[in-house]
Amino acid sequence: MLWLTWRRHRKPALFALAVLGLLAAVVVPTGLAMREKFDGYGLGACRAALGTASMVTQTEAVARCDSLGHQFQREFGNLQFAAVLFVVLPALIGVFFGAPLVAREVEQGTHRLVWTQGVSRLRWALTTFGLTGALTAVPAAAYALGVSWWFEPLVTASTGRLAFLAFDVQGIVPVAYTLFALALGIFAGTYWRRVVPAMALALAGYAVVRIAVEVLARPRYLPAQVRTFSPDGTQTPNPASGDWVLTQSVRDGAGQVVLPKAQIGPCPPGQCTTDPGTTNWLEFQPGDRFWTFQCIEAGIFAVLTAALIYFAIRRVRTIA
């Protein structure tokens, strides 16, 4: 059964390896070029000198690091658009590999032959889904490691690892997204037993779940922290901390918003109150929560993946 399953699905597996090879041909040279420039600009040393505290008093050092970061961004910032492709890749796994797994068998009627040759539906489902999942997990892990390495200089020079997009292509969550997309595609194929509608359902479902988790759930995995500091410039947020700023503003002594963004230095004439209680107000998730958030989000998608496979197996056992 394992050998038969491998023979039926070896072409998609080899195609996935070919895609990984093409990605490596792009990621490796550009990644090496970014790291060389990152070190050449002195960004690593500059950020290391700032430490990881959320606030620092070294305003001149912060300004210097920001200037170097902007230079780096001007040269390589366009590569961030390539990260959008890496976000989309797991969805393509679900659409092109997961959805046809059952839907094609039913659409072509071959399931009647497959499931009457001494192999039970349960055994077929467990073997097919298990082997496909294993063949997907290995390249997904390689992809996650490679993209994390490639994206690190861009993230360090700009928003930090917890920010949108940066978080999605680093760590362990890309593997969880990929397996979830595969499971969703399989379930869609058992629900809508034609390949094209199943692919559309898988793509739409993946987009809805990912956006909902990213926008609604992720900022609330742990209670956000709040920090206030004076706009006079004696203290400033540390760009090397990796903190994920959720909201920021200037507030007066009564807590009312005066400006929608934090202000460092004197406020523009006519835009700030003279209230001596005026402060900058930041709501943020600390940068050191990166791996905690990674584990929480990977766990959410692991549970969703298991649930989808369970319901897919149940539906396979009821297909006429």
The string of DSSP codes covering 140-195 is HHHHHHHHHHHHHHHHHHTT-TTSTTTGGGSTTHHHHHHHHHHHHHHHHHHHS-SH
The string of DSSP codes covering the chain is -HHHHHHHHHHHHHHHHHHHHHHHHHHHHHHHHHHHHHHHHTHHHHHHHH-S-SEES-HHHHHHHHHHHHHHHHHHGGGHHHHHHHHHHHHHHIIIIIHHHHHHHHHHTTHHHHTTSS--HHHHHHHHHHHHHHHHHHHHHHHHHHHHHHHHHHHHHTT-TTSTTTGGGSTTHHHHHHHHHHHHHHHHHHHS-SHHHHHHHHHHHHHHHHHHIIIIIGGGSSPPEEEEE-TTSSSEE-GGG--EEEEEEEE-TTS-EEESS---SSPPTTTS---TT-EEEEEEE-GGGHHHHHHHHHHHHHHHHHHHHHHHHHHHTT--
Give yes or no for residue 264 having a pLDDT over 70: no
- Confidence check: pLDDT of 296 > 90: yes
pLDDT value at residue 11: 66
Please determine, for residue 134, whether its predicted confidence score (pLDDT) is greater than 60: yes
What's the pLDDT at 69?
87
- Average pLDDT of the chain, as a whole number: 84
Question: Which of the four pLDDT bands, split at 50, 70 and 90, describes residue 239?
Answer: confident
CA geometry: angle 215, 153, 151, nearest 5 deg: 50
pLDDT band at 250 (very low <50, low <70, confident <90, very high): confident
- Whole-number pLDDT of residue 139: 85
Q: What was the pLDDT predicted at 185?
A: 94
For residue range 51-88, list pLDDT tens digits in order: 888 888 877 888 888 888 888 988 888 887 777 888 88
- pLDDT above 90 for 158: no
Q: Higher model confidence: residue 181 or residue 272?
A: 181
**Does position 262 have pLDDT exceeding 70, yes or no?**
no
Whether pLDDT at 242 is above 70: yes
Per-residue model confidence (pLDDT) at position 223: 96
Confidence check: pLDDT of 45 > 90: no
The pLDDT value recorded for residue 7 is 56
Q: Which of the four pLDDT bands, split at 50, 70 and 90, describes residue 304?
A: very high
CA gap 8, 61 in Å, rounded: 59
Over residues 140-162, mean pLDDT: 88
Most confident stretch, 19-23, 145-149, 209-213: 209-213
pTM here?
A: 0.86
Residue 253 has pLDDT above 80, yes or no: no
User: Ranked by mean pLDDT, which of 99-103, 109-113, 168-172, 252-256 comes out on top?
Assistant: 168-172
